[in-house]
Amino acid sequence: MRRSRLLLGAVVALLGVALVSPLRERMFGPKRLRFPYLARPIPAATYAALAAKPGWAKSALQVAPGVELRGLVRRPISASAPWVLFYPGNDESQLTRGQDFLQALAGDLGWGLAVFAYRGYDASDGKAELASMRADAPEILARLCAAEALAPARVHIAGFSIGGHFAVHAARGAALSGARAASLILLASVDDIVMYQPSRWEKLSAGEDYQTRPYLQGVPAPVLVLQGTADKALDGPQQGRNLARALGTRARYEELPGVEHVPLLFDQKALALVREFVLEHSR
């Protein structure tokens, strides 16, 4: 009986440590912004309607056994035109917003455009979790290039919000493989946040640690960092400033006064800066 009580006590103590540690970190550690994953499926009809817009088509990339990431592509009007591959933010409809951004960016310029939903989002398989999505990031670029017979040097990688974290991994992976992308564009990118799975226990969860600066060492120039000063989602412009400072001379930093988080994607000055950057660094 005594042995059973001791065993039960040990189990209770371990559970207590498991529950208290995340709370202790949040109460006494540095302040970290926390966001729930907004991953959810969209109806097949919605995906089909997006792909039916003029010039657009469905595309699927197998990034792991049994896991396809589904997205949208608009193929260029010429074999020499640049491509922009967009890594979306934590949006309930990643493909809708990604397509809208790319359309606003490129208009009738005839560029190649592509966006893929992460695991668990929109029409893609799998579950939204950092380790898998981080591993997928360079695979998206590599498999898009293989599917479209592209050299990575023709592809400009753009990432918004958490997509900036994944875009950094894509650019870093391409550089490490010896096939660098044309450029990297970070729009209101996260530098240091926590993402967690929505649940009744979410306040007890330590969440998943999104830190971008440690991965910048392998990212080559050129990089464009755009940040709005009124970014309430990220509690101001500091995260963008931190990334630009860490990149140093590899990056061009532009701060847009009064521009908020999502509106940065459709701000006319921001779009003009991205267009100029893509054209400047296209081969």
Same domain, 262 and 134: yes
User: Given a cut of 60, is residue 9 above it in pLDDT?
Assistant: no
Same domain, 26 and 104: no
CB-count burial class (<10 Å; 0-12, 13-18, 19+) for 173: buried
What are 65-122's pLDDT values in tens digits?
A: 999 999 999 999 999 999 999 999 999 999 999 999 999 999 999 999 999 999 999 9
CA angle 118, 19, 12 (to 5 degrees): 135
Report the half-sphere exposure of 273 (CA within 13 A, side-chain side): 21
Report pLDDT for 2. 57
Same domain, 3 and 127: no
Residue-by-residue DSSP string for 212-240: -GGGGGGPPSPEEEEEETT-TTTTSSHHH
The SS3 call for residue 89 is coil
Report pLDDT for 200. 83
Same domain, 216 and 88: yes
- What is the distance of C-alpha 215 from the center of its chain? 14
User: What percent of the chain lies above the pLDDT cut of 90?
Assistant: 85
Looking at residues 157-182, what average pLDDT do you find?
97
What are 32-56's pLDDT values in tens digits?
A: 899 999 999 999 999 999 999 999 9
Same domain, 80 and 179: yes
Same domain, 214 and 76: yes
Same domain, 20 and 83: no
Looking at residues 128-147, what average pLDDT do you find?
98
Same domain, 80 and 118: yes
Considering only 18-32, 81-95, 249-263, which range has the smallest mean pLDDT?
A: 18-32
CATH number at residue 152: 3.40.50.1820
Same domain, 219 and 268: yes
Full-model pTM: 0.89
Same domain, 50 and 12: no
Same domain, 77 and 152: yes
Range of the domain at 25: 1-30
Number of domains in the chain: 2
At 20, is the pLDDT very low, low, confident or very high (cuts 50, 70, 90)? very low
- Tell me the C-alpha distance between 69 and 123, whole Å: 7
Summarize the chain as % helix, strand, coil (round to 5).
45, 25, 35
Report pLDDT for 202. 73
Amino acid letter, 134: R
- Cβ count within 10 A of residue 199: 10
Same domain, 18 and 68: no
